[in-house]
Structure 1
Amino acid sequence: MCGLFVLVVCAMGVSAFRIQQVESTEKCPDHTVYFKHYYELHGEPVVLKCPSPLYKHLDFSALTLNITWYKNDSKTLISGREEDARIWAKGDALWFLPAMLEDSGVYICTRRNASYCAEVSIHLTIVEKTAAHKIAYLQVLFTFTDGNVICPDLWDFTQNKTDLELKWYKDAQPLEGSNKKFVSLEGSTSLTITSVLPTDSGYYTCKMPFRYEGVIYEITRTIQLQTVEQEKRITPVIVYPTQKTTSAALGSRMTLPCKVFVGPSSHVYTEVEWLANDTLIDVASEQSSVIVGERQETTENGENFIEVPLIFNSVKEVDFYTDFKCLAWNIYGYQVLPTRVKQEAVGMSWYIAVIPIALVCVIVGGIYLHKCWKQRADKGYTIAKV
């Protein structure tokens, strides 16, 4: 009976600890995987922004007052900047000055108030500078027109600044300011190409210095420019997603947008659909809890885009074995982009924390059992002697 009591107490202790750990790491009822996978260069500044949750039925405005960050494999909160700190949190942003290869992983930001919280996983991959072309941004220009190549994702480093110092390169060769073919306006993040030709396609690189507390860092962006012939100008081109696979945790929410470039032509001429195993999503969603979101039509730099999101209300195991495709088409042509969802690695940190406690319970239980059996043996020996 003594041994049974000890085992029950230990089992209750392990169970209570396990529940506490789950609550401390997974207590947010809403966990979303951010659709954008960040690819950045080793040794350069990186800023991750905590996305705002998109729930129309809830007011999350107060959640911006309490935002926490941690890396998925550590569970240690990342605090504000301390002396000599390379990674620190500031408001809704996580700063890396600079980012290193070992920083690759999943970062989780949590927006929380007294009654509710929303948690978002953000994937970050740091690559060597020699592999910059592998993570290039895709941009499209039409031939025989003037077009702009944009140096992307500089907002966090350029806001409230008017003295931008961008330098442009094409296929690793610097573009001189006196070149009339390529015009870079002072204080602008764009490069204007006059009368675009098929030979203008290739890799463009923009570099910008970033000064912080007396230290000068370099920010590099590489753009893969594709030129499209004039007669094909209304054939749709899918520019996102760029990766063939997207990681997601089982049971999490995830939004995967399909962004389509339609050029100067009207949005109404192009259709964008999502397929699951070559079947329209409205049929496949009965098994996978996947729905197609509202179509959004936008204009950027005078060019038209269509974006249709694929929304996973709760990622299921069947989704890891489903072939998803974004299909964009009109009367002039079509493009299909396949993508897969793979299961995100599950952290084992709380299991590791439970092991020492379980071991202590086993040892204590063994001691008590030993004492109980010894007492019984002693009593039996005395009776037999009498």
Structure 2
Amino acid sequence: MSPAPRPAAAHGIRLPDAAGALRTYVPRAEPAPAVSAGPGAAPLTSRTVFAAAHVVADPFADHRPGAPAAVDWDATLAFRRHLWAHGLGVAEAMDTAQRGMGLDWSCAAELIGRSAAEARAVGGRIACGVGTDQLSGTVAGVERVRAAYEEQLGAVEEAGAQAIVMASRALAATARGPEDYLALYGDLLRQAAEPVILHWLGPMFDPALEGYWGSQDLDAATETFLTIIAEHPGKVDGVKVSLLDADRESELRRRLPGTVRCYTGDDFHYPQLIAGDGRGFSHALLGVFDPLAPLAADAVRTLDTGDTAGFRAALDPTVPLSRHLFQEPTRFYKTGVVLLAWLAGHQDHFTMVGGLQTARSLPHLARAYELADGLGLFPDPDLARSRMRQLLAVHGVHQ
């Protein structure tokens, strides 16, 4: 005689809600089919898709704010192989990897070199962030910003990766107006050996980037951005737009030269922007595709067949999780991303460079777990539940 099934509460987990009250949540028993099926063999064809990947910290290093970054290289590279195995490209050393929020340029340069070598070994696509974060303190003019950009561009090209020219805090603090952006970006694009991706990161992701492109007025900033592209169309593969404004991205997309891609970085509206409309669509370069990799790849393969409705049906349900992870202060979304990687078994701990694991509250993390579990994102739901219980116990929530 088989034993009687345990009541649902025995399989549940007590989670704190936004008001601090505890309630019982019963996790799902199996992962989603796209997760349990493993990596898909077919390449993605209708869209170019990058996941901006997080770094796995060395759990035994001193990860206080301001300390040099220490990375677990084996686990970090294993996660990139996971993304490539699902058919996604890797956007390396971007803000998801905590550039400017714990990952210093010295460590980022090593990350770029290691990941680019790994990409060659497995045949994966990679693009890497070029910034100016080796500068600190007071910046003495645009020339130092230009030199910093040139150093990083050289490092990325030497590694054999495509360059993503990131927005620069130092340039935002130093530039006198649009003319400085036009001149500096023009110099960089003329020097670039291969077409680059230009990244417009909004101040919701980094408050120090307020007024980028030389104006607080987004319409005026857009004109400067488009002028840079129009003057160097052969050197711009695409633009990554991270403004969390679907209408503005769609309008910008329609004004790009035909050879220049728009890569959405909008973690609030990505399904509709990737699906597109009668006047075009966006490719993708998204931090949320770090935790969503299997589901996102499966959805794009559906889109590859021409089934837009099926694509939306697969990806639209992921938006509540993404909006939760990226809620204000948006720049701390990395904490939820790393939590989900730990719960999914991609790393053995919930530690981040710069101590950023403390940047979100326990109720926020609990809700992220619940939403991710509801989507079937965890290959082993029991492991995810066990690890979530460990985190809750550390905070005094006992089951």
State TM-score, norm by structure 2. Answer: 0.26
Structure with more relative contact order (C-alpha pairs < 8 Å, separation 6 or more)? 2
**Structure index of larger Rg:** 1
Select the structure that is richer in strand: 1
Select the structure that is richer in helix: 2
State TM-score, norm by structure 1. Answer: 0.27
